[in-house]
Structure 1
Amino acid sequence: MTSVAPLRTSAMIASFADPGQKTTSAPFGHALVKAAHADDRIVGLTADLGKYTDMHIFANEFPDRFFQMGMAEQLLFGAAAGLAETGLVPFASTYSVFAARRAYDFICLDIAEPGLNVNIVGGLPGLTTGYGPSHQATEDIAIFRGIPGLTIVDPCDSVDIEQAVPQLADHPGPTYLRLLRGNVPTVLDEYDYQFELGKAAVLRDGTDVVLISSGLMTMRALQAAEQLAADNVSVAVVHTPTIKPFDEETVMAQIDSDRLVLTLENHTVVGGLFETVASAVVRRGIAKQITPVGLPDAFLAAGALPTLHDRYGLSTARIVATVRRRL
C-alpha cells in the first residue's frame, strides 16, 4: 500500500493561488510603502499582526510612522481615530474577524460617525484560512455594510490591491479593505482593467450567462468562463470590487437581459454581494432570478483550503457544475 504524506498545517493558511499561477508578493505592503513616499500623512498600525497582514513591509520602511498596538483591537481603532483627527491618514491592520467582531463599536462611533479617513485592513476575509470559525470572517461584509458612510472594497488580486491603496488613502471617509496577503494571484493585468473606487467592470462579454463576482471569486469566475467556453457556453464576467457604495448602473445593465445570472462571493450568502445585487434588482423592478454562489449560513469546518473551497462551492469546478445545472 502506498503511504500518503500527512497534510501539513501550512495548507490551512496557504495562498489560494493555483499551482504555477503568476503571483505578486505582499502587494498591499509594497503599495502602502509607495503611497507613503508620496504622502507623508500616511501612517500604519497593527494589532500584533504586522507579518500576517503584510504591514511589516511598511514598518521596515517607515519605523517612525508605524505603531504596534499589541493584541488590543479596540485600542488599535481608537488610536487610528485619534491619529486621523490630527490630519494623518491611518491604515490599521488586523484579521477581519477581530475588526468586525471585537472592535465594531469603536469603528462605528470613533471612526465612521465623525467620517474620519481611517482605512481598516482586514486579513483572512471569508474562506482564506482553514483555521475554523475563530479566524474565518465569513460575515464581515454583512456586519460592516450597516455602518453609514463606510466604503467596502473586496479586491480580486494584486492589481486591485496595488491600485486601490492610494485611492483609499485619498478617500475622505472610512474604508474597509478585505486584504489578500502573501503571494497573491495576478490576474486582472490581462483584461485591460483599472481599479476605480466605487465602480464595477465588465471583464468579458457573454451571451448565455452573467457571473457577477467580487474578491478572489472574480478569478474563479474568469476560470469558469474559460472552461464553459469550451462547451460553447458564452459567459460574461462582471467584477464588483467595491461592495459599498455599489455600482448599480453597471451591474443592473448586465442583469436586465435574458441571460442566466449568478453572483459569486467569498462570503456568506447572507448580507453580502448576493443580497446587495438582489435588493437592487427588486428596487428597480427587474423580474430576474439570481442564483447565489457563496458560503452557507453556517460556521465552517477547519481544514485545507483547497478541500474547503470545493466542499463549500467556491472552487472553479463547483462553479462550472452550478452553471451547467442551471442552464
Structure 2
Amino acid sequence: MSEVKKIATRDSYGNALVELGKEHENLIVLDADLAGATKTCIFQKEFPERHWDCGIAECNMTGIAAGLSTCGKVPFISSFAMFAAGRNYEQVRNSIGYPHLNVKIGATHAGISVGEDGATHQCLEDLALMREIPGMVVINPSDDVEARAAVHAAYDYVGPVYLRFGRLAVPVINDRPDYKFEIGKGIVLKEGTDVTIFATGLEVSESLEAAKMLEKDGISAEVINIHTIKPIDEELVVASATKTKKVVTVEEHSVIGGLGSAVAEVLCEKAPTKMMRIGVNDRFGESGPAVELIHKYELDAEGIYKKVKAFAK
C-alpha cells in the first residue's frame, strides 16, 4: 500500500496565491517579515512587484492593506496566527471588520502543531477571536486540496476572510473528482448512525482514522468536515445531530469559542443534543515536536477514538 501524501496547508496557501496572481492583477500580498515561513515567498518569487514585506509590523501591514482595498486591490495579509489574529486584533477589528473591507487574512502556524516554537506562538484562540468580528468569514481547511480551494473562494468573496493554515504536513484526503468547496457548507465524509464527529482543520483526517477504529468496536460514527467555522452550516449540523442523537466536535484549538462553541450554539437553539467537545482544555500549549504534542493533548486518532468510544456508549 502506497504511503499517504502529506502537505502542509501553509504550502498550499503560497501555491494558491500564485495561481490566483496569474489570473488577477489586482491581487497583492503583504507579509510581516515571515515570507519564508508563511510561504508567500512563492508568490514573491513569481510577482515581486506585488509582494510587499512590511517588516515586523503586523498592525501597520493591516492598515496598509485596508487602504489598498479601497483602491480596487484585493490584499492578502500574512503572518503567524498568533500575530495575524492576536497581536493584530484591534487593527483587524477596526480597520478591516468595522468598514467591512475586502481584505483576506492568511494566518499560518496555528495551533499546537507549531511544535517547538512553544506556547507564545501556538495560537489556540484565533478562531474564537475572528468569529466574534461581525461579517468576518472564518475558514480552517483540512488539507492541501481544501486549502487551495479556500484561498480561491476567499478571493471571489467580497468582504473580510480569515484563513487558518498549519505548519505540519497533513494527509491529503480530498483528492477526488467529486470534491467541491463552498463557503459555509460542511462535507459529510463518512455516514454513520451512532454518533456524529464534527471536525475541522488537521483534525479531520485524525477523526476519519478514529472512525475506522470505532467501526471495529461496532460504533458507527458519522464524520463531517466543517471547514467554515463562520458562517457554520447550521442545516447540516442540525440534520446530523437529529439523526445520531450524539455529537462530538474536534479541533486543534481551545474548546472555548471555536468549532465546539459554534456547534453548541446551533444545537442549543435548534436541536438540543448530547455533546462532547474535544480540543485544548483552557490551557496554553507547550514546546515539543508537533506530532508528540498532538498525541499528548489527545488530538490524534487514538485520543479521539478513546474519548468518542466512552462517550458513545
Please give the range of the TM-score, normalised by the shorter of the 2 chains: over 0.9
Q: SS of the counterpart of 2:37?
A: coil
**Where does residue 137 of structure 1 map in the other structure?**
123
Q: TM-score, normalised by structure 2?
A: 0.94
| Amino acid aligned to 1:109 | N
> Bigger CA drift: 78-87 or 253-262?
253-262
Q: SS of the counterpart of 1:106?
A: helix
**Where does residue 162 of structure 2 map in the other structure?**
176
Q: SS of the counterpart of 2:252?
A: strand
Aligned residues of 1:43 and 1:89 also touching (Cα < 8 A): yes
Structure 1 residues 102-181: aligned runs within 5 Å: 102-130=87-115, 131-181=117-167
Q: Which consecutive residues of structure 2, in runs of 5 or more, have no partner in the other structure? A: none
Within 2, Cα distance between the matches of 1:321 and 1:183?
24
Aligned residues of 1:267 and 1:295 also touching (Cα < 8 A): yes
Within 1, Cα distance between the matches of 2:232 and 2:273?
19
Note if 1:23 corresponds to 2:6: yes
Structure 1 residues 222-233: aligned runs within 5 Å: 222-233=208-219
Aligned residues of 1:296 and 1:312 also touching (Cα < 8 A): no
Q: CA deviation at 1:213?
A: 0.8
| Amino acid aligned to 2:238 | M
Q: CA deviation at 1:258?
A: 4.2
Q: CA deviation at 1:183?
A: 4.1
Offset from partner CA, 1:207-244 (integer Å, 9 cap, x none): 12210111111111111112222233211111110101
Aligned residues of 2:18 and 2:42 also touching (Cα < 8 A): yes
Q: CA deviation at 1:260?
A: 2.8
Among 46, 53, 56, the alignment partner of 1:68 is: 53
Aligned residues of 2:219 and 2:309 also touching (Cα < 8 A): no
Note if 1:320 corresponds to 2:302: no
Cα RMSD over matched residues?
A: 1.6
**Where does residue 194 of structure 1 map in the other structure?**
180
Change (3 A) 1:172 1:164: same
> Bigger CA drift: 40-49 or 187-196?
187-196
Within 1, Cα distance between the matches of 2:3 and 2:110?
23
**Where does residue 35 of structure 1 map in the other structure?**
20
Within 2, Cα distance between the matches of 1:110 and 1:306?
37
Offset from partner CA, 1:138-182 (integer Å, 9 cap, x none): 011111111111100000000111111111011110010001357
Note if 1:244 corresponds to 2:230: yes
| Amino acid aligned to 1:198 | G
Q: CA deviation at 1:201?
A: 1.1
Among 269, 272, 275, the alignment partner of 2:261 is: 275
Note if 1:96 corresponds to 2:81: yes
| Structure number with higher helix proportion | 2
Q: TM-score, normalised by structure 1?
A: 0.90
Among 48, 65, 80, the alignment partner of 1:80 is: 65
**Where does residue 201 of structure 2 map in the other structure?**
215
Q: CA deviation at 1:200?
A: 0.8
Q: Percent identity?
A: 38
Aligned residues of 1:115 and 1:173 also touching (Cα < 8 A): yes
Aligned residues of 1:154 and 1:242 also touching (Cα < 8 A): yes
Change (3 A) 1:247 1:258: closer
Aligned residue pairs total 308
| Amino acid aligned to 2:204 | T
Q: CA deviation at 1:191?
A: 8.3
Q: SS of the counterpart of 2:113?
A: coil
